[in-house]
C-alpha cells in the first residue's frame, strides 16, 4: 500500500543494534528511503539491505510496483512530495533515473533523463531541509560519464570531471543537486557507477543475443576503455558507504581492472564459446544512435582508488570471472 501523509509510524523500526546470541553487536538496523529501488541495481540492493535487517521505504512513481516485487517487507511511496517534516530516515539512497541507453537522445528524451534525476534529487534535498530529524547519510547516484571522453588517461576521484557532451552535463548537474544536502549536516556520498554486470538487465543484456549467435564484435576501433563492475560488488560498496561514517565525497564504483572494448569483446565471446568477428564501425553507431553513441565510443579509464584505500576487497576483480558468474545465473 502506498505511503501517504497518514502513515502509521509503527511500520518503521527504530534504529538499534542487532545482537548475536552471545550479546556481541552484529550491525545497525536503519530506516532507509530508497529511490530507484525497483530498478536493475535496486533488485539486488534491496534484498541485501532487507537481509541485513534494515527497514526500507521505496519510492516508485508506479504505484504498487515496490510491493509487487518485495511484498509487505517494504513500505511503498508514490510521491516524495508527501514527505512531511516529521518523517524520519537514518539514510537515503538515491538511484532513480530513466534508463540512459535505449531511446535516441531527442530533446524530449534528454528532458526526461534530466528530470528523472535532477527533480527527484531536488525533492530529496527539500525534504532533508525541512525534516525535523535529518538523515545521517545521502548516497546519491552518478556515473563515470561525468569524466567525459578522456581516452587513455587514468582517472581516479581526484581527476577533473570535464566534457561538453550531454552525459557529462547530466552527471555534473545530478551531483551538484545532491551536494546541497551537505549544508544540512548530512554526509553525502556520490557514487560514480561504471558498466554494471548483473543478471537479467544492465548494459550486458542487449549484447547477449548477437554474441550468442556469433554476430558480436568490437565497437568502433575497440580501443575505448570500459570500466565495469559486478553488481554484487556495487551493492557491497553501497553497504560500506552506508555503514562507515568516515566515508564521504565522490567514489568510483568500478572494478580495479577496466578493459578496452576490444578485450571485453574477446572475453565475452570466449566465455560464450562463440566467435566475435563482426565489428561495428564508429560511423554506423553514430548513424544508428546519434548523440547516444557517445556511451559506446567514449573512453573513461576509471580506477576506484578511494574505496580501495579503505581496504575494501572486491569479490570480482577480473572480467572473465565476473562474466562467468553472471552468465551462469542467467
- Residue ranges per structural domain of the chain: 9-198+229-254+303-315
Residue pair 37/113 in contact by the 8 Å Cβ criterion:
no
With 70 as the cut, is the pLDDT of residue 23 above it?
A: no
CATH number given to 9-198+229-254+303-315: 3.40.50.720
Write the pLDDT tens digit of every residue in 286-323: 998 999 999 999 999 999 999 999 999 999 999 999 99
- Written as nine digits, the cell of 256 is 580495479
Q: How far apart are CA 258 and CA 227, in angstroms?
A: 5
**C-alpha span between 91 and 28 (Å, rounded):** 12
Nearest to 96 by CA among 118, 128, 71, 78: 118
CA angle 51/117/104 to nearest 5° reads 115
Question: Has residue 4 got a pLDDT over 60?
Answer: no
Global pTM value: 0.89
Nearest to 191 by CA among 224, 237, 122, 123: 237
- Number of Cβ within 10 Å of residue 16's Cβ equals 10
Pick the more confident residue, 26 or 281: 281
312-321, pLDDT tens digit by residue? 999 999 999 9
Amino acid at each position: 500500500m502506498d505511503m501517504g501523509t497518514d502513515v502509521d509510524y509503527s511500520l518503521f523500526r527504530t534504529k538499534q543494534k542487532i545482537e548475536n546470541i552471545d550479546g556481541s553487536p552484529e550491525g545497525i538496523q536503519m530506516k532507509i528511503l530508497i529511490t530507484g529501488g525497483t530498478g536493475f541495481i535496486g533488485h539486488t540492493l534491496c534484498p541485501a539491505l532487507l537481509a541485513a535487517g534494515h527497514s526500507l521505504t521505496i519510492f516508485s512513481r508506479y504505484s504498487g510496483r515496490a510491493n509487487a516485487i518485495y511484498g509487505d517487507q517494504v513500505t511503498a511511496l508514490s510521491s516524495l512530495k508527501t514527505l512531511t517534516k516529521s518523517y524520519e530516515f537514518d539514510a537515503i539512497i538515491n538511484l532513480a533515473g530513466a534508463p540512459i541507453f535505449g531511446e535516441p537522445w531527442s530533446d524530449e528524451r534528454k528532458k526526461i533523463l534530466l528530470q528523472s534525476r535532477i527533480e527527484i534529487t531536488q525533492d530529496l534535498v527539500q525534504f532533508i531541509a525541512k525534516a525535523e530529524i535529518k538523515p545521517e547519510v545521502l548516497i546519491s547516484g552518478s556515473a563515470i560519464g561525468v569524466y567525459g571522453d578522456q581516452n587513455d588517461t587514468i582517472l581516479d576521484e581526484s581527476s577533473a570531471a570535464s566534457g561538453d557532451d550531454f552525459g557529462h552535463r547530466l552527471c555534473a548537474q545530478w551531483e551538484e543537486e545532491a551536494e546541497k544536502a551537505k549544508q544540512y549536516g548530512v554526509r553525502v556520498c556520490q557514487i560514480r557507477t561504471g558498466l554494471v554486470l548483473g543478471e537479467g538487465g544492465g548494459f550486458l543484456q542487449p549484447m547477449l543475443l548477437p554474441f550468442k549467435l556469433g554476430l558480436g564484435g568490437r565497437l568502433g576501433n575497440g580501443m575505448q576503455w570500459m570500466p565495469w563492475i559486478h553488481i554484487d560488488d556495487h551493492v557491497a560498496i553501497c553497504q560500506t558507504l552506508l555503514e562507515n561514517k568516515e566515508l564521504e565525497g565522490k567514489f568510483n564504483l568500478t572494478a580495479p581492472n577496466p578493459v578496452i572494448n576490444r578485450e571485453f569483446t574477446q572475453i565475452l565471446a570466449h566465455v560464450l564459446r562463440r566467435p566475435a568477428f563482426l565489428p561495428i564501425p564508429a560511423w554506423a553507431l553514430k548513424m544508428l544512435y546519434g548523440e547516444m553513441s557517445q556511451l559506446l565510443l567514449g573512453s573513461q579509464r576509471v580506477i576506484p582508488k578511494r574505496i580501495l584505500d579503505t581496504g575494501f576487497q572486491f569479490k570480482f576483480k577480473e572480467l572473465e570471472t565476473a562474466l562467468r558468474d553472471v552468465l551462469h545465473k542467467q
